[in-house]
Amino acid sequence: MNVISLSAFDLCLAASLVLLLAGCSLRIGLGLEKRLLVSGVRMTVQLLLVGMVLKFLFASASLGLVMLMSFCMLLVAGYEVWARQKRKLRGSTGYLISTGSMLVSSFTVAFLALTVMVGVDPWYTPQYAIPLLGMLLGNTMNGVALASDRLTTDIYNQRGLVEQRLLLGESWQEASGDIRRDCMRTGMIPIINSMAAAGVVSLPGMMTGQILGGSSPFDAVKYQILIIFLIAAGTGFGVLTAIWLISSRLFDDRQRLILDCLSKLKGH
């Protein structure tokens, strides 16, 4: 079975639905029309550029180019995590923590999957390595961003309670323990919900793409199960790493809460 090719008209027809949605937003005053249009144009340009890059990358199958592409994806994902936080760690620390937590989790899980589970030879074959890493980074990015944003916000908002617990002799791990656990849950709940609903409420994107491409539904299911487990592991370890690193920056060696390292909210 061959994949049915889509024409430019088909894509324009799909885009017209977004234009219609933007018109509805303008009509009822949601204020989302500009963001819808800008995001749509940005997505189209990005995917077209990525398509051209991947076409060249697949043809060359070079380890150096695959690693370069992978680290570019990582750097962009780290920036997106850092940019989504309302109260960021000042300087480059927040960006380095976001990027480092995804490097530790996503790259490790992706390498394990390529070498042991999928067993592709060579392990850096771009048709496998880039899509797998992209899915891991995309989901880990969302989890780390949600957890990190809530951590810095909750620590700041509950600073009085945290400082009182520190004054009573608790360590910073104990004083911030409840907040950190809640933040970890926040970061991991989306992937847990996706796992629970997969196959019953929704057909995940990779599985759908493989079926549309002519793969056996059962083979597509096995790959999707593998991917979801990998995403859950990558997201979980990324969230745990980010929360620990950010928390350790908010307290000093004398068990004092330090909020000067956080940026102020815009307008404050």
pLDDT at residue 267, as a whole number? 46
- pTM of structure: 0.81
H helices within the chain, ranges in order? Answer: 8-28, 33-60, 63-83, 93-102, 108-112, 126-157, 159-167, 172-175, 177-197, 205-212, 217-249
Q: How confident is the model at residue 226 (pLDDT cuts 50, 70, 90)?
A: confident
The proportion of the chain whose per-residue pLDDT surpasses 90, expressed as a percent, equals 47
3-state class (DSSP) for residue 259? coil
Distance between CA 153 and CA 65 in Å, rounded?
39
Q: 208-217, pLDDT tens digit by residue? A: 666 666 677 7
Q: 3-51, pLDDT tens digit by residue? A: 677 788 989 999 999 999 999 999 998 888 899 999 999 999 988 998 8
Q: Which of 210, 267, 239 is nearest to 139 (CA)?
A: 239
- Say which amino acid occupies 20: L
Residues 221-231: b if buried by 16+ CB within 10 A, e if exposed:
bebbeebbebb
Asked whether residue 142 carries a pLDDT value surpassing 60, the answer given is yes
Q: For residue 144, what are the CA distances in angstroms to 56, 66, 139?
A: 31, 24, 9
Check if the beta carbon of residue 97 is closer than 8 Å to that of residue 248.
no
